[in-house]
Each structure stands twice: as C-alpha cells, then as structure tokens.
Chains A and B, each alone.
Chain A
Amino acid sequence: MAYNGGPMTEAMYYVLLALMHPNHGYQLMQAITEVSNGRLIMGPGTLYGVLSRMQKDGLISLAEDDGRRKTYQITLEGERALRMEFSRLKAMIQDGSILETGDENE
C-alpha cells in the first residue's frame, strides 16, 4: 500500500526518524532503539520490510550502495510526511491533555 498521508505505523515513524541521519542495516536497528529510548526493538525482518516499502513509496532513498550494504537516507517527501505525522501526534497528545487535568482533580 503506497503511503497516502494517513497515520503511520510505529515502525515507519521510527525508521524515518532514525534516517534523519543516513544509516544502514544493523546500525539502523540500533539507531531505532536509541531514538526510541530503548522502547522499540525492531527485528530485521520488520526493518527490511519497512525499508523496501518506504523506498518504493519515495519516502526514503539510497545514499550509497556497495552491493552488499545499502545506506538509506530520508527524502524531502519523507521528511515532509514525518513532520506531518509529528504534528498529528502532537495534536493527539494535546487533545489527550484532559486526561492529565482529570488526574490532578483526583
């Protein structure tokens, strides 16, 4: 399914986030764990699937390819999509702030 601007999967979001710095394979998995503060550990199958799909959708591109190892980077379109998703998530957090006031009333 081509990315249509709707809500991203968690995997997509973090891969794009991690690819703000061009990266490859194993290191990218580590970067994802890092950027999610250890909350998300992504398996190589999931990562590979997300990478090939997002590359097809034009959200990321190859920065370098030495045959065995491919280095990916985020594209302009990818960054735009990531920022849109970020504002969407932020709006969702703000909308959820009533839960925090509710807690305070307790």
Chain B
Amino acid sequence: MNKIVYKLRPSDYWRIGEHENWFADMAAKGFHLKKMGVQFARFVKDEPKKIRYRIDVCIKKKITAEQIQMYAESGWDYVTSYQFFHVFSSPEERNAPELHTDPAEQSYTLKDLDKKLARNAGIVMVSILLMFGMLFSIWFLDGTPTFVLVQGLAIQQTILTIFIGFTAYTTLQASISIRALRKDLIEGKQINHHAPWKKHHIRNSILAFFCTVVVGLTAVLPFVQLVKADTKTLPEASPALPIVRLADIEKNPALVRGESTYMGDNVDWGNRYTYEWSPLAPVQYETDENGVVPGKMWEYGSSEYTPSIHTRVYQLSIPGMADNLISDLIKRYNYEYSVEDFVTIKHPKFDHLIVHEEEELKEVLASEGKNVILVRYHGYADLDSVIENIEEKIKIISK
C-alpha cells in the first residue's frame, strides 16, 4: 500500500490558481492529491508525475455525474471536492484541452459563490461589530480598563475576539478576492494556473501554528486561574502575608473577632483572605476582617464598636500599570464619594499615596514599584496608623 501523507492545507481556499499550482508541484514530487480535509490535505506517495490540476467552482456541493462524465471524456479525472471547489486532474502527456476556454463564460460559475460570500461577509461583519461592542463594554463601561486587565477577567474574551476578528477578516478577503477574480474573468483574463503559492503557504503555516498555541494557552488560562485561586479564613496572625490586619491598626488587646456573618465552604467570609493569580498580576490578595471590642460603643448610636477592614494587594508584572490601577480602583469601588475627595500625599516610602478620610472611614491606596495596596478601614484608629501598616506590608511583598 502506498504511504499516505498529510500536509497543512492553505487556509485561503479562494486562491484557485495557487491551489492548482500547489497540487501540481506536489504531484511533481510524487505526492498525489486524494482529499482535502478541514485542516489538512491528504496525498498518496507515488511516482513523481507531471499532472495538471484544475479547480471548478460550483455552488452545489455535490458535482453532477454528467459533469464528471463530460470532463472525463475530454481527459479530465475527478479527484475530490472541498465545499464549492471541485478538483480535476489530467496527466500532462494526455494533452487534454483546457476545461475553460472562455473566461467570460467561466465567470458565470463564480456568480453564485460570489453572492454567497458577499452575504457571509456582511453577516460576519455585523456579528464582529456586536462582539467588539460587548468587549468594549466589559472594558470601558466602568472606565476601568486597567483593573479589568489586571484581574485577568477579559483576557480570554479579548484574545478570542481578536481571533474571531481575524476570521471575519478572512471571510471578507475571500469575498473580495472572488469578486475580483470574477471581474477579471468577465474582462477576459484567464486564471493563472501557475500562480506562486509558497509565500502564502509559509505565512499561513506560521499563522496556523501561532493561532493554535495562543488559543490553546487562552483556553488553559481560566483553569489556571481557577486552580490557583483560593479563599481561606484569616488566621489570628499572619506575619508572612502582605495583609494589613485589623489588630495592628486598632492596637487594642480587647479586640476580638466579630461573629461570622456568612459561612460557606468552611470559610468565614467576614474574616477571609482570597488569593488570586492572573498573568498581569501574579500575586493578588483580597481580604475582609471584622472585629468587635466588647463593652466599647460607637460614639454615635448605641451599638457595640465593630471596626472592619477590607484590603486588596496586587503585585503587577508591569510596574507601569500601578498608577492606572490605583485610579481604576478608586473609580470602581467608590460610589458615594467623588474622586476629588481623594487626596494625593507625598510620602518618601511610596511612589504614590492617595488617602480619603470621612469620619470613621479611612481609605488608603499606595503603590511602590510594582506593588499596589488598597485599605478601606472603618474605625477610630487614625489614618497614620493605617499608612504605617501599609508601609510594613509593602516591604513583605517587595521581598
């Protein structure tokens, strides 16, 4: 039995002349076309032979027995079909007459395909616009593109949209090329049966490889994020973690942990820390901590003093994103206060320090190099104490 060989097939199926030439060049090397698959063309290894190949276009996917018979009588053997393209071959020594002797007549065979491709291109263009619209809203609806990027939420959608966009471009290209070919034929220009194919073939192979790798990685990304992410109940002390703790700010031995408001998966969500990973922020912590000082009361009202703290910690891959991340964090998690309430302070230990104080609410956003820490604290300890703690913790994460 002869050896079967698979070759990556050119993705630009509409380049008729290049395909004919490719098949002929392969046959000259002893690879004879048998079938075209979705990604690969199947060849059978045999004696090298000079064979002419011609591709006929027919909007019907199945070619008629009459047509095959008619071509065979003129010395053209039916090889295979892919979609609307039907391949015929004829050994050179057979000297068979050209299939198409009248380009203007041949242009009619492209008419239906041309219409179909134009319709496809239209539909695809509308869909891709919708997709871009959706992606745009994920990115910019909140006006916090850096945050979206750092969290790694939209990376997959973005890359997939780019690839679908590329597919749309291909569809458009097919439509334009077939239209141009049809025009050429109407004007009497024959198809170039010896069109060079190598340049496009190399480009397509590289592109196909690149797409496979990137799409593969993209598919894996959410799983990596899922596996790496974890949420645990905060331990009483966490000297190794870059997390600002309530006890360090309150400095009150009477402070005890607040009653858990919500337990799930054995995690006290009122006192938890979540670890997350994304390509642009390989280290991320998000924490909540609630405490209570028995016997002590809030100054206003008659309830017990229950300080709380929410923190976010990011170690970025690209330090340059820190400033944008801070301004996005302010925008995204701030509903009541305007951006003007946040004040920038110069501090020797931080590249950037922004604070916001409103009675017992203290918010601090600090960055140093590629590290960003956000602390939102409710309680009576002062702002400086919060900043000092951030200074300590940012040292831990910098190591």
Interface residues of A (CB under 8 A from B): 1, 9-11, 25-26, 29, 41-50, 53, 67-70
The proximity string for B residues 97-128 relative to A, scoring 1 for CB distances below 8 Å and 0 otherwise, is 11111101110110100000000000000000
5 closest cross-chain pairs (CB), A and B = A45-B99, A26-B73, A43-B101, A45-B100, A44-B74
Cα–Cα distance between A41 and B97 once the two chains are bound (Å): 8
Once A53-B108, A67-B65 are accepted as A-B contacts, the answer to whether A44 and B102 lie under 8 Å apart by CB is: no
Chain B contributes a number of interface residues (CB within 8 A of A) equal to 23
Q: Which residue of B lies closest to A15 (CB)?
A: B105
Structural contact, B101 and A46, CB atoms closer than 8 A: yes
What residues of A have a CB within 8 angstroms of the CB of B67 in the complex?
A: 48
The secondary-structure label for the interface of chain A is helix
Known: A1-B108, A11-B105, A29-B74. 13 other contacts (CB 8 A): A26-B70, A42-B102, A43-B99, A43-B100, A43-B102, A44-B73, A44-B99, A45-B99, A45-B100, A45-B106, A46-B99, A46-B101, A68-B65
**B66 close to chain A: CB less than 8 A:** yes
Identify 13 residue pairs between A and B in the complex whose beta-carbon atoms are under 8 Å apart, listed by A's number.
Answer: A9-B105, A25-B69, A25-B70, A43-B98, A43-B101, A44-B76, A45-B98, A45-B109, A46-B100, A46-B105, A48-B71, A49-B105, A67-B65
Q: Which residue of A lies closest to B104 (CB)?
A: A9
**B56 close to chain A: CB less than 8 A:** yes
Once A1-B108, A42-B102 are accepted as A-B contacts, the answer to whether A47 and B70 lie under 8 Å apart by CB is: yes
Once A49-B108, A49-B109, A67-B65 are accepted as A-B contacts, the answer to whether A42 and B70 lie under 8 Å apart by CB is: no
Residue from A10, A26, A47, A48 with most neighbouring chain B CB atoms (10 Å) = A48
